[in-house]
Amino acid sequence: MKSLEGKVCLVTGAGSIRGMGRATANRLAGEGADVVVVDREIAPKSIWPGEENWRGLKAVIEEIEARGNEGLAVVGDISNSKDVDNIVQKALDRFGKIDILVHCAAIRGPVGPHIVELDEEIWRKVIDINLTGSFLICKAVAKTMIPDPEGKKIVIIASVAGTFGAPGSSSYCASKYGVIGLAKTMALELAQYKINVNAINPDTISTNLVDERIVAAAEKEGISVTELLKKRAESPPMGPNIPLGRQGEPGEVADLVYFMVSNQSSYITGQTINIDGGAH
């Protein structure tokens, strides 16, 4: 018997081809779980050559089913309470329960504008999706867990950017600081029900979250996105000092998520765990 057999997992932000959500959905399905995958659009775009026809959530469901598990795709905006209620209700209608929530959905926002230049609309969008969205989905799922709470797990993908300041990233850093505070508080509030809540702080992970930044960098250098991607493939950027000498991969985050939602982490709650190659 696989370790998550009989469990139902809900994974947000699961539609991107290079995303931590997709990697997590597959990892948990591989351990026997049925998985509800959520994204704000059915097939998020990728700038990488050869990925133009990515089918998003439909493809992820096929991957889950190929592992012998059931999957359900739901499109919704986690910063909209009505969408969140719909997501959770569809999961309950199909599977009757949610044992595990892995909340990966987030946006990066622009990198560069200092606080005096940052547009209020951008600030509100980042906060709404990253922080308010985390509150809404966690609140809605936790309500379904409390009546039968034993063994339930919530994992939020936060960021190392929620542990230090970064010039030009005030909205993103503020949102992730808030997410970490939310996770730690929920852990204390839900501990009486034996529901574990933890946050994972990735650093430089190779995902579609940086696509917008790559497009901006290509424009700044006056070259095409394809040319810049080729250039980076030949000499990958390391970002901040990474002792292990490389960027992380979504699958490595998914491995950590699996540990945090398995019985192996039953006495861990209210924690934030960095996955950063030793950078911090």
Residues involved in catalysis: 172
137, containing H or E segment:
helix 133-145
Helix-strand-coil split of the chain, %, nearest 5: 45, 15, 40
Q: Which residue has the tokens 């939602």?
A: 261
- How far apart CA 196 and CA 154 sit, in angstroms, is 6
* Secondary structure element (H or E) that encloses residue 73, with its range: strand 71-75
Cα separation, 61 vs 39, whole angstroms: 12
> For residue 152, what are the CA distances in angstroms to 20, 69, 100, 192, 271?
21, 19, 6, 12, 16
DSSP code of 206? -
Q: Which helix (H) or strand (E) holds 101?
A: strand 100-103
